[in-house]
Each structure stands twice: as C-alpha cells, then as structure tokens.
C-alpha cells in the first residue's frame, strides 16, 4: 500500500511540474503507466489480468460510454448517454442482458444519430460470439442483438 501511495504522490508532483512547464501531453503517458502497474493486481474471469475499459464515442454534443461489469454476478455490457457534452448522463442501460453468459470487451462508435456497441459473449469454454446492438436515436433505445458471426442478420439495414 505504501508503494502505491508513493507512486500516487510522485504522479501528483510530476503533473504539477509538467503543468507549470506546459508539457501536459506527457501526463497521459504517466497516468497510463500508473494505471498499467495498478491493473496488474486485478484478475479477471479467465484468471488473467482484468483489462477493464470504458470506451467512449462522441457525435456532436452527445457523449456515449460503454463498459462491462460483473456486479450482478453475470458479466453484462452497460451503456450511458449524455446529450450535454458529458456534463450529465442518463440512466444506465444493460445492453447484453444475458444471464449465465459472459459478456465483455465492449467497444463503441457513433455517427450522427447512430450509436454502435459491440462486445463478445461466451456461453461456455468453446464459444466466443461477437455481437452488436445499434441505436438510431442517440442511444435512447437499441435494436435487437445482432449475432455477427451468423450469415443472416436480425436487424434491418441502416442504409
């Protein structure tokens, strides 16, 4: 614990010095190195390092964030949207909503009013299925889950 506090103290001191010199871009590198060192002590579902992320996407003044969590006992993909540049966010939406299936590694993209969230679902040790949900109303609602490895799609065309 003392080592983490020392690293945090050095991080704060380095940020203050860099901010006064004007080299703010270096802060990202230092924060990233600190986060990598801290994350190596958190283990994920497969016994390896838990690489949790909360990717964001923007379109105009809208900000979208997605992440996966195991808080309920099932790995689920969550989503939140902001329409005021990230000052406030709406309610959390469970996109995967798949009890008993591990849903993780969520990614997100946005263009115009469309929001695209993809992730992986694993029902057992031999399956690993890429899936996606699409919103055409700035993240207010999402269509049905699209199983990307199937030849047929379950969502209507966006074009």
99 and 26 in one domain? no
Range of the domain at 19: 2-39
121 and 83 in one domain? yes
67 and 13 in one domain? no
33 and 93 in one domain? no
Give the side-chain half-sphere CA count within 13 A for 137: 4
Q: What is the pLDDT of residue 44?
A: 42
Global pTM reads 0.64
96 and 21 in one domain? no
61 and 25 in one domain? no
Residue of 145 and 29 predicted with greater confidence: 145
Q: Are 104 and 120 in contact (CB under 8 A)?
A: yes
60 and 28 in one domain? no
DSSP for 30-83, please give it. HHHHHHHHHHTT-B-TTSSB------EEEETTEEEEEEEE-TTSS-EEEEEEES
140 and 66 in one domain? yes
Domain count, the chain: 2
Confidence class for position 29, pLDDT limits 50, 70, 90? very low
Q: For residue range 38-88, list pLDDT tens digits in order.
A: 443 333 444 444 567 899 999 999 999 999 988 777 789 999 999 999 999
Q: For residue range 112-148, list pLDDT tens digits in order.
A: 999 999 999 988 878 889 999 999 999 999 999 999 9
81 and 32 in one domain? no
27 and 76 in one domain? no
Residue 59 forms beta bridges with which residues?
Answer: 62
61 and 116 in one domain? yes
Residue 51 lies in a domain: no
Nearest to 121 by CA among 102, 141, 94, 147: 102
Say how far apart CA 83 and CA 72 lie, in whole Å.
Answer: 28
């Amino acid at each position: 614990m003392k080592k983490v506090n020392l690293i945090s103290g050095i991080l704060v001191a380095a940020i203050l010095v860099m901010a006064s010199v004007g080299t703010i871009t270096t802060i990202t590198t230092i924060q990233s190195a600190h986060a990598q060192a801290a994350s190596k002590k958190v283990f994920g579902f497969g016994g390896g390092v838990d690489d949790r992320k909360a990717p964001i996407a923007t379109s105009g003044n809208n900000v979208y964030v997605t992440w996966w969590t195991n808080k309920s006992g099932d790995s689920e993909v969550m989503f939140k949207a902001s329409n005021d540049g990230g000052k406030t966010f709406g309610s959390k939406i469970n996109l995967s909503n798949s009890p008993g299936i591990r849903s993780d590694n969520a990614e997100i993209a946005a263009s115009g009013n469309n929001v695209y969230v993809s992730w992986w679902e694993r029902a057992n040790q031999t399956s690993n299925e890429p899936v996606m949900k699409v919103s055409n109303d700035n993240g207010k609602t999402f269509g049905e889950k699209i199983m990307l490895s199937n030849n047929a799609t379950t969502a209507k065309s966006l074009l």
